Amino acid sequence: MVGRSWCGLLTAHQIPFRALARPDFDLDQPATLVAAVEKGNRLVVNAAAWTDVDGAESDEPAATRANAEAAGVLAERCATVGATLIHYSTDYVFSGQARSPYPVDAPIEPMNAYGRSKAAGEAAVRGSGTEHLIIRTSWVYAPWGKNFVRTIAKLAAERDRLEVVNDQRGRPTSAEHLAASSLALYLAGANGTWHATDAGECTWFDFATAIAEQLGSSCSVEACTSEKFPRPARRPAYSTLDLEQTEGLIGPLADWRVALSKVLCRIDQTG
């Protein structure tokens, strides 16, 4: 989702780029990461990751190889050629027990394997010595790919009733807005660790309700607790990321409801 968004953004701005995917860029094959970054490259965007949160619980070493060890290899290569690396991280590096938005410098206390792997990735990038932007984000979706918005849109068209958890709160993020915010941060000279999501916050139930309403669906969306849908990986009850630093540099970020509306009218049901 994020890689495709970057391609669209750079094309629109007429900025030359190369977009690599497997097998030419494979987090399980470190040699491909080194080969992907050439001398003369100024900016490298790593939009690849192990994102199977539940799968990480049963194979944390694999998640760590992808999210931490590979990130370190890529960062070290960027340091060698003098490129800046934009690397994406997650709200899951925090404990999920806060009562107000997490600032960038909040303590790192991941509650599951996926969060630990991403926290290790942050450390690897910082330790590489390369110029970098680590951008934490959350609840990413797009008109394409596998994501919550497309799933709920499909189910709301097929069912009369849906139950969605109402005890997990965070910030949805349009992948296209994330790419645009990331580029804006880079062009503004940002470095180090930042947060980028859409503005506002909600629960998954609120998010699903908005999706159904904006689509004009007659499906009834009902609230439930996380206990109704047990998962292998624990989820944070509160993982809203503080945006003050980011908005202070690049200006206000769009409200998640506005971003959702723009995406829903362009959903690609083919993939």
The catalytic residues are 114
In angstroms, rounded to a whole number, what is the distance separating the alpha carbons of residues 90 and 118? 7
**CA distances to 151, 152, 155 from 148, in Å:** 5, 6, 10
Order the strands of the 192-195 sheet from edge to edge.
43-46, 84-90, 132-137, 192-195
CA 237 to chain CA centroid, Å, is: 18
The candidate with the shortest Cα–Cα distance to 177, out of 85, 253, 87, 73, is 253
Which structure tokens are listed for 85? Answer: 């690396």
Asked if 23 contacts 10 with a C-beta cutoff of 8 angstroms, the reply is no
